[in-house]
A and B are shown apart, each in its own frame.
Chain A
Amino acid sequence: MDHKDNQSPQGETARILVEFLEVAITSIVFLKGVYPSGAFERRRYMNLVVQRARHPQLRDYIHSAVFGLLPFIQKGMVERAAVIFFNTDGIPVERFVFKLAVNLSYGSKVEEADLEFTLRSFLIKLSVSESLTKVLPCDYRWEITAYFRSLPEASANKDVKQWIPTDARQWEQPPLLTPIKSMSSKPLCVQLYIEHPSLSEPKPQNGEV
């Protein structure tokens, strides 16, 4: 890929972040055991052993979704990116949320090595976080959702068209958060936490469809 057009610090940050997200999301999907482990292969990223989807469709979905965010992340429009697991009723069971904050006023050169060093800790922590997650019901789906600070104008950019407004259902009660990892550096702050429905949340089977 050509990186020449992303020479601004934010472009650089966004590029690194997006790559990281691609790997991290794949790791989450692997972690949750959505697909048989044979669907993944071991790869090295940031000098860590990570998983990568072998199925081209799965790979493309994650890749295109995340890279579709690139221009928006660069502009600081994306507030959160979430991997949402939901049951057949479309009610979320578990959400992995990446809260992003790209420093738009950061002016100096981004040291890729420094960023990678901190981002790596996410992947390490993720790989041992299975106990924090919930066992998913037998029949469920997942999707990648991005939360924008403001809705981009559809006409302005054709990248936007790839993104459709989600109709994923929300929880009625504020969820319970379990932080996994946080990092903050000058150019970029990322936090990863898991959201679970609050205990007082009406059970999925009770809720109307």
Chain B
Amino acid sequence: MSMESTRSDKSAKRSFNNNRNSASSNSNSNPSNKKKKTSQKTLGVAWGSNSRSSSRSSFSNSPFSNFGSYMVEKNRKLQNQFEAEASTSSHGGSGSVKPIFDGVSIFVDGFTVPSSQELRGYMLKHGGRFENYFSRRRVTHIICSNLPDSKIKNLRSFSRGLPVVKPAWILESVAVNKLLSWVPFQLDQLANNQPKLSSFFTLKRSSVSNSASTHAPCQVNPEAEDSSLKVGTSGDTYFSEVSEPFEHRKQISRESDDLVNENSNASLVEETAGSSGKPCEVAMGIPSNIDAEDESSVKNDLQSSHYQPTALVSSNCINNQNMKGSPSSMVSEPSNQSHSTLGDPNFVENYFKNSRLHFIGTWRNRYRKRFHSLSNGFNCTSSNIKASPLKTAIMHVDMDCFFVSVVIRNHPELLDKPVAVCHSDNTKGTAEISSANYPARDYGIKAGMFVRNAKALCPHLVIFPYNFEAYEEVADQFYNVLHKHGNKVQAVSCDEAFLDVTDSEGDPQLLASKIRKEIFETTRCTASVGIAGNMLMARLATRTAKPDGQCYIPPERVDDYLSQLPIKALPGIGHVLEEKLKKQNVWTCGQLRMISKDSLQKDFGLKTGEMLWNYSRGVDNRLVGLIQESKSVGAEVNWGVRFKDLKDAQNFLSNLCKEVSLRLQGCGVEGRTFTLKIKKRRKDAEEPIKYMGHGDCENLSHSTTVPVATDDVEVLQRITKQLFGSFHLDVKEIRGVGLQVSRLESTENSKQGLERNSLKSWLASASARTEELCKNSHVAKESSNRGCEGEGDETLGQLCGNSVGLSIQMDSNTSNGAACLNEVSVLPPLCHLDMGVLKSLPPELFSELNEIYGGKLVDLIAKNKGKTENINHTLSAYSHEKIEGAMKEGQAARLSSMVFQNEIPVENKAEQHIAKEVLAVSGAESFVPASGLKKTDLIPSSLSQVDTSVLQQLPEELKVDILEHLPAHRMQVFSPNVLLDPTEIPLEALGTKTAENNSGSKDFVLDNNLWVGIPPQWVDKFKVSNCLILNILAEMYYKSGSTGNLSPILQRISSVSLHQLDAFQDGWDEAMYILCELLKQYIKLKIELDIEEIYVCFRLLRRFAMKSELFIQVYNIVSPYLQALVGENYGGNLHMSLKD
């Protein structure tokens, strides 16, 4: 009971004040205590007095000589008391283990959750100290949840340089039972420059945050750390896996076959996670943050997109030239529009076409296609390498300023001139230099620099636009050369690769010069090569070799080489890590080596610590070709994002989703977690220096996780739209949008299983398959009997016939699929099963199905395949016995005996739930052809016949898809059921379309309920209304934070001049009617549980009524209704008189 618990706290406190005797008797170590007599002082008065007291260390007489000495004594007693309590409370604790908060002494400032007393309890229990009064000497951490502005302004004088930490630090430390770093728990107001109250105090705040950062220089902004880490990992995951066999490999096998024949040497193409990309890539030549690891564009799209960039680039240039003519128009609207989301409906598409980083990302796809081969051979050899790591020779080949050299290879006269590549050569422009050649670098021109700054440094700098076509050509040539000389090539980027040349005969240095020479001859661009015993050292060697040189670091020279190497040169050390290390006075690898592995791991975390330790010693255990799976796939646009209205934004989002979906498909993965990142212009941010850039922004992000992985555009769009809605932003403020998909699953796995994400893809693939089957038995061979050789053509013919029969049957009987859904206990007849679907079922499911069909499934498949052994092979792991049984039984049950077994009893009742599950699938299956047919406009499937109970049991995703495929007028049949089911929330959450339809039907059923949904229906209705006050209401809904409550909206309105609200005549009656209706429904909604809200609303309305004719009428109409309802519920009337 809480009084009880507080009582104990209180009694503790009380003893501080009153019960001096008891307190001192507890702490009998201090005989001097007994002398003192107390004088009653309240705690409140004592506040702040400690500074005076600190100088006085002792006192002589019991009546305190002054307040200061009293405080000294009080503090001492509090400490004694705390220690006494601590010694008793820690008895229960683990004796030998060092307590968590050893050496930590906290001071709690102000209101916290949990309360200061609870925090005190934690400190007691875990060996920390708790100070009731602040003292610079005793306190090590200040705990508070919120600081007043004045304290933030004078943070220094408030905190005396001590860390100011949120209470969560203590809680989480206790939870994990170790002392966590307080840095991530730093008070929000100090930690990032985006304090919660920023909207009110933006101007002041920026100075505050400055002071915060100067006062506490050791407080690293955790966000900055994050982003640098991200850079690191993005480099790592830059190039994702290939080695896994892909489904689409089949589709491109013909092309690659040819290639493989050509390059018989190229037995394997490996791509790697290896080291991060080139520095200039990380530095972002193009104003975008496109995650470079992203794959994009499925094969088909790739081809077409290859040809377009040049055209677009040139048109870009024209634009820029135009602008040169009238530089003053640079910020003006029209030119803005041509480059922003405002004017260009295909902005997303064009954006990525012009993006260099996008080029680098998508280049992988092309590379994979060209140099694709099987990975098996490599895996064997890689184990060999492991066995003899000593002799390895790794070569790192890197083209010299690739993006520039490629462009100027046709301009020999520019060879010694400073040249840079940039998508715009507007001298005054803020486009960023993406790459500069060495002469240009001599002028101090770096990647990432604005053109105008570069031009200032070097007025005769020549700037070229990108030439993606040429890049592709050169990159291909580059890799052709590499593959010629080694079969273990790990592509890092289009211009950078690792080669394992351990197995090559001859001196690696000779080989290197040979490779360099060939590269120059074929591409007319130079490359540098570093050679060493591992990837790290090879990469570092390249550093020395550049430009146009080569460098070999033999094992014995590694130590020398590293000892003077600045730590920054090591891959994986970014700004943040560098700063941290420099703070520890570590500047070179040699100094880094002095630090023990343990302390490195303690300071920087387990992985980073180990990496630092290894790298500083030149140890790198990565193998060439080692693949790291990419963790996320996404796309982000931070440039040129300007939205006029919500529609713009939605359109943009849906295009972004398309892009991301393509990238997912390109990578062959599907994801479950979707994160939408928004860059929102800061309140006080001016138009960014960079033309159409994002400027000073807040970074917001929301994410959601769906139960089943997907790469489907429509699902993505739905999720994204919903995520976007949850931001409640003014779209005009948005400067950048990114969508990232994580928790990736390989498409391979999910494509086979139950968890096939969307029914639609089921439909599409299945119907496609059926069509194929009907058309061409060869196609059938490929799609259904993949991996099986030597089937008899007759069986195929038979199969083909079957399928044709199947589809015909479907033609003639539309409700077949629905019927299957209806009969829960009836299995679909054997012959109705789609072979392709059966085969793509996961083995577990298949064996279950097989069991239900009494082993006939296996038989069926066996028939089709013509080789039972094969299946035995694939299935033996799961259902060895069954197959044996099936083989015996199987011979008898011929395929020709296609007597429909309409009622195959479920064999085991205990398995009924499994059976149901399976049926859901088979139901869906049989639904597939039906819908497939619908798609081809043969007959629309009538789903009203579907048993809703079956529908309820379908997995969420399937349900959504089914519902989506229903004609809208049929929705109503379902939606009540759907709404009744409490588990349906995710459905609504997922569905925008569905939700709309649901609420639509509800609207119909529940008599115009304006308050249903999020946002409530009235918002949309009012938004499109031609009546000003209604528009304002809808607008205020969003401005007030979309809480769903009326009072915040009305409160906002009270700031609008109400006189002008009456300045309309049209639709007065209509507006009044709908307002009354809105209020009445709101009263009905809230009367029972939240009379306070209604009260607030009506007091506001009453105030409006004093100024507005309309509101007088509304108020007078609704008021009696309100009072009646209040009387009904509360037996009284609301007290509405206006005292104020």
> Given the known A-B contacts A43-B10, A176-B1133, A196-B1135, are A15 and B1093 also in contact in the complex, defined by CB atoms under 8 Å?
no
Interface status of A175 (Cβ within 8 A of chain B): yes
User: Is there an interface contact between B1130 and A177, defined as CB atoms closer than 8 Å?
Assistant: yes
> Given the known A-B contacts A44-B10, A180-B1092, are A175 and B1 also in contact in the complex, defined by CB atoms under 8 Å?
no
> Given the known A-B contacts A19-B3, A44-B117, are A175 and B1090 also in contact in the complex, defined by CB atoms under 8 Å?
no
Chain A positions within 8 Å of B1090 at CB level: 182, 184, 191
User: Is there an interface contact between A176 and B1132, defined as CB atoms closer than 8 Å?
Assistant: yes
CA distance A112 to B111 in the complex (A): 18
User: Is there an interface contact between B1091 and A179, defined as CB atoms closer than 8 Å?
Assistant: yes
Tell me the minimal C-beta distance from A57 to chain B in angstroms. 16
Chain A positions within 8 Å of B6 at CB level: 43-45
Q: Give B1134's nearest chain A residue, CB to CB.
A: A177
Chain B positions within 8 Å of A195 at CB level: 1132
CA distance A22 to B1127 in the complex (A): 28
Most buried by A among B2, B115, B1134: B2
Most buried by A among B114, B1090, B1133, B1135: B1135
User: Is there an interface contact between B1133 and A189, defined as CB atoms closer than 8 Å?
Assistant: no
Chain B positions within 8 Å of A52 at CB level: 3
Q: Give B117's nearest chain A residue, CB to CB.
A: A44
User: Is there an interface contact between A1 and B1, defined as CB atoms closer than 8 Å?
Assistant: yes
Chain A positions within 8 Å of B1092 at CB level: 179-182, 191, 193
Interface string of A32-56 (1 = CB under 8 A from B): 0000000000011111000010000
Interface status of B64 (Cβ within 8 A of chain A): no
User: Is there an interface contact between A174 and B1132, defined as CB atoms closer than 8 Å?
Assistant: yes
Tell me the minimal C-beta distance from B108 to chain A in angstroms. 11
> Given the known A-B contacts A174-B1132, A177-B1132, are A45 and B2 also in contact in the complex, defined by CB atoms under 8 Å?
yes
Interface status of A81 (Cβ within 8 A of chain B): no
Between A and B, how many residue pairs show CB distances below 8 Å? Answer: 82
Main secondary structure of the interface of A (DSSP, over half): strand
Q: Give B1129's nearest chain A residue, CB to CB.
A: A99
Tell me the minimal C-beta distance from A64 to chain B in angstroms. 13
Q: Give B9's nearest chain A residue, CB to CB.
A: A44
Chain B positions within 8 Å of A23 at CB level: 2-3
Tell me the minimal C-beta distance from A131 to chain B in angstroms. 8
Q: Give B42's nearest chain A residue, CB to CB.
A: A42
Interface status of B898 (Cβ within 8 A of chain A): no
Q: Give B1096's nearest chain A residue, CB to CB.
A: A179
Interface status of B1131 (Cβ within 8 A of chain A): yes
Interface status of A7 (Cβ within 8 A of chain B): no
- The residue that B2 contacts in the complex, of A46, A184, A193, with Cβ under 8 A, is A46
CA distance A23 to B1130 in the complex (A): 24
CA distance A1 to B7 in the complex (A): 12
B interface size (C-beta, 8 A):
29
CA distance A77 to B1131 in the complex (A): 18
User: Is there an interface contact between B111 and A182, defined as CB atoms closer than 8 Å?
Assistant: no
CA distance A3 to B1092 in the complex (A): 32
Chain B positions within 8 Å of A176 at CB level: 1132-1135
CA distance A99 to B1095 in the complex (A): 16
Interface residues in B1061-1109 by Cβ distance below 8 A to A read 1089-1095
Interface status of A88 (Cβ within 8 A of chain B): no
CA distance A175 to B113 in the complex (A): 39
Chain A positions within 8 Å of B981 at CB level: none
Tell me the minimal C-beta distance from B111 to chain A in angstroms. 6
Q: Give B13's nearest chain A residue, CB to CB.
A: A44
Interface status of A198 (Cβ within 8 A of chain B): yes
Chain A positions within 8 Å of B112 at CB level: 47
> Given the known A-B contacts A174-B1127, A181-B1092, A182-B1089, are A45 and B3 also in contact in the complex, defined by CB atoms under 8 Å?
yes
Chain B positions within 8 Å of A1 at CB level: 1, 4
Interface string of B1-39 (1 = CB under 8 A from A): 111101101100000000000000000000000000000
Interface status of B481 (Cβ within 8 A of chain A): no
In the assembled complex, 13 residue pairs joining A and B whose CB atoms fall closer than 8 Å, in A order, are A1-B4, A3-B1, A47-B113, A47-B115, A101-B1089, A174-B1131, A177-B1132, A178-B1095, A178-B1135, A180-B1092, A184-B1090, A191-B1092, A193-B1092
Binding site for A on B (CB under 8 A): 1-4, 6-7, 9-10, 111-115, 117, 1089-1095, 1126-1127, 1130-1135
